[in-house]
């Protein structure tokens, strides 16, 4: 079983839809959870950063972490064509080293006008 699983998509939705992106993981030591957005031919851009379980909201974006189920989600409300990108989840246990950030493979999202 891979450490982090993420459905690659592609996911296509109409403009204005609510989008749900998810990752599951196997390492119960993970404490820090991130979502990155990556446009084509660009580097990943940090969208959301959460610690432990719970919800975090920033504008149209909501990140949820359920450590008991080892499951994290990113919700996008009122999706826009400019949200079309690949979304990467990432997580870390911070075992004293900064080099242990584990990424999902990314979900490609397309928002149609």
Tell which one of 84, 92, 107, 109 touches other proteins (CB under 8 A): 92
* Residues 108/8, Cβ–Cβ less than 8 Å: yes
Pairing of strands 4-6, 61-66: unpaired
For residue 49, the minimal CB distance to other proteins (Å) is 5
Tell which one of 59, 68, 82, 99 touches other proteins (CB under 8 A): 99
Q: Helix, strand, coil proportions of the chain in percent (round to 5)?
A: 5, 55, 45
Q: Which residues bind other proteins (CB under 8 A)?
A: 4, 6, 8, 31-32, 34, 36, 41-46, 49, 51, 88, 90, 92, 94, 97-99, 101-106
């Amino acid at each position: 079983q891979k450490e982090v699983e993420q459905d690659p998509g592609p996911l296509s939705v109409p403009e204005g839809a609510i989008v749900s992106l998810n990752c599951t993981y196997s390492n119960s030591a993970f404490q820090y959870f991130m979502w990155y957005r990556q446009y084509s031919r660009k580097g990943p851009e940090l969208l959301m950063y959460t610690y432990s379980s719970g919800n975090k909201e920033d504008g149209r974006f909501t990140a949820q972490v359920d450590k008991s189920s080892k499951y994290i989600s990113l919700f996008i409300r009122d999706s826009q064509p400019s949200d079309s990108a690949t979304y990467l989840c990432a997580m870390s246990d911070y075992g004293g080293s900064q080099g242990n950030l584990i990424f999902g493979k990314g979900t490609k999202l397309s928002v149609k006008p």
